[in-house]
Amino acid sequence: MADELKGQVAVVTGAARGIGAAIGKQLASMGATVVLAARDQALLEQVKREIEAAGGVAEAAELDLLDESSIANLAKAVEARHRRCDILVNNAGIGVLGKPLTELAPSEWDRMMGTNLRGPYLMIRAFAPLMIAAQSGHIVNISSLTGHNPFPNGAAYSASKWGLNGLTYSVAEELRPHNVRVSVVAPGSVNTGFSTSNKNGDKKIQPADVARVVAMLVTQSPQSFVSEVLMRPTQKS
Ligand SMILES: NC(=O)c1ccc[n+]([C@@H]2O[C@H](COP(=O)([O-])OP(=O)(O)OC[C@H]3O[C@@H](n4cnc5c(N)ncnc54)[C@H](OP(=O)(O)O)[C@@H]3O)[C@@H](O)[C@H]2O)c1
């Protein structure tokens, strides 16, 4: 096992499956202690077991991004247990897709914005103080190419990701003076259960591909950082 991240603590949201699970495994394989956070504890425990079987260190932590106190409790627990957070990956996200905006219920809008945009804001608010105190850290937000391109029948999802891009670039300027780097990764379609379309799964971007980009971002040499990575499948499906 490589040890590039040995001694570092990484918190990954939405680590129960898909891209988040792949990011957790990748960072653990580089020596980080990974806090896997999501709602489904059974799935998190499974990811944790897989990491441990490969010789890594992971913890499963309950997190509901729609619940402010759940976020505050996670931050308190990480601070009490580790006294540090070196890497925060805001990966968790949901999409209510395939509906014109006029047919989207306000409750669906709120759930998407709450998870995809307010969630990362609250996570940064809760965890950045630990990074500022250490004068070191990296935050990676997982956005989407739909945060750059028009996405008919997914306007609210798209808006949440455009918002996440703006949040990333702006808070990056606030945290730069504290030696905390903030980046955003914007993948196209990734082969997870997120989308109902399972067509051409092997031609899609794979979760491990996104995880490798996150690994690259958090191991960038200290004098520079990458603001954004756009990811596309090599073969158009
Ligand atoms: N798959 C794609 O094609 C694609 C493309 C571009 C960008 N993305 C973005 O990549 C990220 C991960 O997507 P994915 O494909 O891996 O999705 P996924 O397989 O559906 O996994 C989503 C993860 O988010 C967690 N989550 C959802 N709501 C949550 C909440 N309220 N609190 C805490 N955790 C919550 C889920 O766990 P629980 O349900 O257990 O909480 C799950 O672990 C998302 O932000 C998505 O927008 C995906």
pLDDT of residue 2: 77
Rounded to whole angstroms, the Cα distance separating 103 from 88 reads: 35
The Cα 43–Cα 58 span in angstroms is 13
Ligand 1 pocket test target in 11, 12, 13, 17 with most atoms within 8 Å of CB: 17
Q: Is residue 4 part of a domain?
A: no
* pLDDT at residue 64 in the model: 98
Say if 3 falls within a structural domain.
no
Does 114 fall in a domain? yes
- CA dist., res. 155 & res. 174, Å (int): 28
- Residue 188 belongs to a domain: yes
* Active-site residue, 121 included: no
DSSP-assigned letters across all residues of 171-226: HHHHHGGGTEEEEEEEESSBSSTTSS--TTGGGSBPHHHHHHHHHHHHTS-TT---
Provide the residue range defining the domain that includes 15.
9-231
Residue 37, domain member (yes or no): yes
Task: State the alpha helices, DSSP H only, in 65-190.
Answer: 68-82, 106-113, 119-134, 155-175
CATH number (domain holding residue 204)? 3.40.50.720
Note whether residue 35 is domain-resident.
yes
- The total domain count for the chain is 1
The best mutation among 19, 115, 196, 206 to test binding of ligand 1, ranked by most ligand atoms within 8 Å of the C-beta, falls on 19
Q: Is residue 83 domain-resident?
A: yes
**Is 237 a domain residue?**
no
Could you tell me the mean pLDDT of each successive run of 10 residues in the chain, 237 residues long? 91 98 98 98 98 98 98 98 98 98 98 98 98 98 98 98 98 98 98 82 94 98 96 90
Question: Residue 1: its pLDDT value, please?
Answer: 52
